[in-house]
A and B are shown apart, each in its own frame.
Chain A
Amino acid sequence: MIRLEPRATPSMAMSILSPVIALAITAAAGAALFTALGKDPGQALSVFFLEPFNGVRAISELALKSTPLVLIALGLALCYRSNVWNIGAEGQFLMGAIGGGGLALWVTTAEIGMSRWLFFPLVILAGAMAGAAWAGVVALLRDRFNANEILVSLMLVYVANLFLSWLVFGPWKDPQGYNFPQTVSFAANTELPRVIRGMRLHWGTAVALVAAVVMWLFMFRTFTGIQLQVGGPAPAAARYAGFSSRAAIWTTLLVSGGLSGVAGAFEVAGPMGQLTPHVSAGYGFTAIIVAFVGRLHPLGCILGSVVLSMFLIGGELAQSRIGLPSALAGVFQGVLLLSLLACDTLIHYRPRWSRGS
């Protein structure tokens, strides 16, 4: 029987080895699955692990796909480190998309002439405010009424989703769009500035990277950041740290909601160029896994996002390249995530063989 013993200090070796072990388990499981399906496992694995990095365009697409995940996961990492369990980032993302999309729609319909570079900070602001406001509802209900933030934030995801649906089916619907649920295509000046000509990668990605650095500084180099993580909303602990639990709830939720909102605004003003009911491909939920796979560390969030995006893109490529069903990509992702989470245990605990129980 294997027993786990807590380590006195987190194991350095294991923090390096654990993702390697997890990837090896996933690759082995994947290889077995692919072989069982009559596919060449080497080719299949390379589609998942190498093809998404094949060439500048592929990498730019990977970065584009990772951008919203990075932004959301950063905010969530801060929340979770502070013991505030916001799992409704999806809703905050959608509200940010509505905020950013609303701004772009206004600029488009009122034909306001402004440069892309002026619109860029404005759309960030719109997204951040909308996302933060939505998370603010969670904070308010938690603060005033002690309503559990997990469930409130989750319920508000559905509400935001239906609100978006109402907007694009109703007041914001493109009058020339054959009654289809979408806004007009936004004017060219609302498009996020691109990094490389002819590719979709936009400067929002740079914003996400800067946000990661700022978050790192905030978490580990500022007094407030450290206090937050010590205290969180646990009143007693926070009092020792000299930080109010109320402030912890408000700060983390507003920051996290704001970042999710920016991610939503980027998605609308970036690759979408209009608002539809399908703005999010579940980014808010995927980012929760990203945050944990990234060990709630800002730089880990970046790597986690890249790994997740790699699998999402790899799943598409596996269909067109080697005819694997999309469901298999889901299985493969699930195995990777579960083994990553399981292997991380080894960092803090030492496995011991022992007889009996």
Chain B
Amino acid sequence: MNEFALLVAATLAAGTPLAIAGIGLLVNERAGVLNLGAEGMMLVAAVAGFATGYATGSEVAALAAGALAGAVIAAIYGWLVIWLNTNQYATGLAVSLFGSGFSAFVGLGLVGKKLEETEVAGVPLLRDLPVLGVALFRQHPVVYLAMALTGGVAFFLHRTRSGLVLRAIGESPVSAHALGYPVRRIRLAAVVVGGTLCGVAGAYLSVVYTPLWVEGMVAGRGWIALALTTFATWRPTRLLLGAYLFGGVTMLQLDLQASGVQVAPQFMSMLPYLATVVVLVLISRNPLWIRLNMPASLGKTFFPGS
């Protein structure tokens, strides 16, 4: 039982960066913008967060710096794709390329540096519960932040007027524009929110999860976060569950190996990706369902008055 509780705990921790970045990307995809630069933004944020943590010794400052770095890169990306109407896929990939080069360059002096240790307190009282305490209540605050964020974004998107506007823009920017909404500004705001959250996720990796900086350390998690938004059919709660599922599959595969069960690591590693394809197929089979969920203008350029 305790082993299972530990597995659950590890799964929550592993799923958290995916969830935070995924929620961010979900917001900007809901507004109709697809950002393939997630990996690059996370890397820049990871290095910014680590540098700040190293300089100040404060985890909060480090996460904030990561958020800010993600927001800045996202703003540049947003300006390019929303105002200059560059292609979202190519620009996103270029941002990824730039981000990995830039973070590696900036981080040259930070390799082999160590952050101050911080104790993870967990939730008072609840942390001492048998089994449940181990499984759920001894996590870093960011883990709970991810859950709160999910609830918050779900509420915002589906229960507030602004959320409705955001979704309307993702659905049809032309009609939203006709109704007098500042489509491009709202899109930019959504992209910046996406970058900010990717930034928090990146900084979480380098400051809390692994804590270290080395170039390329995000190692594809930005791409997984991108896959998650589809996996979740752009619903925050599903995204959170999806992130835990991804984290869980990874942890389970390592867990099985540690138990001495022989698995070809390649096939085990394939599972999350195949699972995404399967889920994609399942949700996409019903045209109505996918249309209800998928932002119709995703990836398309909008130019007011054109």
A and B touching (Cβ–Cβ under 8 A): yes
Q: A residues bordering B, Cβ < 8 Å?
A: 4, 6, 80, 85, 87, 141, 145-148, 150-152, 154-156, 158-159, 162-163, 165-166, 169-170, 285, 288-289, 291-293, 325-335, 337-338, 341-342, 344-345, 348-349
Taking a contact as CB atoms under 8 Å apart, the answer to whether B277 and A156 are in contact is yes
Taking a contact as CB atoms under 8 Å apart, the answer to whether B273 and A155 are in contact is yes
Taking a contact as CB atoms under 8 Å apart, the answer to whether B101 and A329 are in contact is yes
- CB B181 to nearest CB in A, in angstroms, measures 15
Main secondary structure of the interface of A (DSSP, over half): helix
Bits for B220-258, please: 1 = Cβ < 8 Å to A, else 0: 100100110010000000000000000000000000000
- CB A136 to nearest CB in B, in angstroms, measures 14
Taking a contact as CB atoms under 8 Å apart, the answer to whether A291 and B273 are in contact is no
Main secondary structure of the interface of B (DSSP, over half): helix
Given A152-B280, A166-B266, A338-B76, list of 20 further CB < 8 A pairs?
A: A4-B85, A4-B303, A6-B305, A6-B306, A145-B284, A147-B284, A148-B284, A148-B294, A162-B269, A162-B270, A289-B93, A292-B89, A292-B90, A325-B108, A327-B215, A330-B98, A330-B101, A335-B98, A342-B80, A348-B85
CA separation between A145 and B95, bound complex, in Å?
Answer: 31
Q: Do A325 and B105 form a contact, CB below 8 Å, given A151-B280, A155-B277, A330-B98?
A: yes
- How many B residues face the partner with a CB closer than 8 A? 50
Contact of B264 among A6, A147, A166 (CB under 8 A): A166
Determine the chain A residues whose CB is within 8 A of the CB of B90 once the complex forms.
288-289, 291-293, 337, 341
CA separation between A148 and B18, bound complex, in Å?
Answer: 21
CA separation between A326 and B105, bound complex, in Å?
Answer: 8
Bits for B68-108, please: 1 = Cβ < 8 Å to A, else 0: 00000000100010011111011101110111111011001
With CB as the reference atom, state the residue of chain B lying closest to A291: B90
Is B299 interfacial (CB-CB < 8 Å)? yes
Taking a contact as CB atoms under 8 Å apart, the answer to whether A337 and B98 are in contact is yes
Determine the chain B residues whose CB is within 8 A of the CB of A162 once the complex forms.
266-267, 269-270
CA separation between A326 and B102, bound complex, in Å?
Answer: 11
Q: Do A159 and B276 form a contact, CB below 8 Å, given A85-B299, A289-B90, A289-B94?
A: no
Determine the chain A residues whose CB is within 8 A of the CB of B267 once the complex forms.
162, 166
Taking a contact as CB atoms under 8 Å apart, the answer to whether B105 and A334 are in contact is no
Is B201 interfacial (CB-CB < 8 Å)? no
Is B274 interfacial (CB-CB < 8 Å)? yes
- CB A27 to nearest CB in B, in angstroms, measures 17
Taking a contact as CB atoms under 8 Å apart, the answer to whether B97 and A155 are in contact is no
- CB A17 to nearest CB in B, in angstroms, measures 15
With CB as the reference atom, state the residue of chain A lying closest to B104: A327
Determine the chain A residues whose CB is within 8 A of the CB of B299 once the complex forms.
85, 150
With CB as the reference atom, state the residue of chain B lying closest to A162: B266
Q: List 10 A-B contacts (CB under 8 A).
A: A87-B36, A158-B270, A158-B273, A166-B264, A292-B89, A330-B97, A330-B101, A330-B102, A331-B98, A335-B98
Taking a contact as CB atoms under 8 Å apart, the answer to whether B273 and A333 are in contact is no
Q: Do A289 and B277 form a contact, CB below 8 Å, given A162-B269, A327-B105, A341-B87?
A: no
- CB B288 to nearest CB in A, in angstroms, measures 11
Taking a contact as CB atoms under 8 Å apart, the answer to whether B101 and A154 are in contact is no
CA separation between A326 and B216, bound complex, in Å?
Answer: 13
Taking a contact as CB atoms under 8 Å apart, the answer to whether B303 and A334 are in contact is no
Determine the chain B residues whose CB is within 8 A of the CB of A345 once the complex forms.
84-86
Q: Do A328 and B86 form a contact, CB below 8 Å, given A6-B303, A158-B270?
A: no
- CB B123 to nearest CB in A, in angstroms, measures 36
Taking a contact as CB atoms under 8 Å apart, the answer to whether B274 and A159 are in contact is yes
CA separation between A288 and B87, bound complex, in Å?
Answer: 11
Is B112 interfacial (CB-CB < 8 Å)? no
Q: Do A331 and B102 form a contact, CB below 8 Å, given A291-B90, A325-B108, A338-B94?
A: yes
Determine the chain B residues whose CB is within 8 A of the CB of A342 once the complex forms.
80, 84, 86
CA separation between A342 and B79, bound complex, in Å?
Answer: 10
Contact of B274 among A155, A285, A289 (CB under 8 A): A155
Taking a contact as CB atoms under 8 Å apart, the answer to whether B86 and A344 are in contact is yes
Determine the chain A residues whose CB is within 8 A of the CB of B280 once the complex forms.
141, 147-148, 151-152, 155
A-B complex: 10 closest residue pairs judged by Cβ atoms: A330-B101, A334-B98, A292-B90, A327-B104, A327-B105, A337-B94, A166-B266, A345-B84, A341-B86, A162-B266
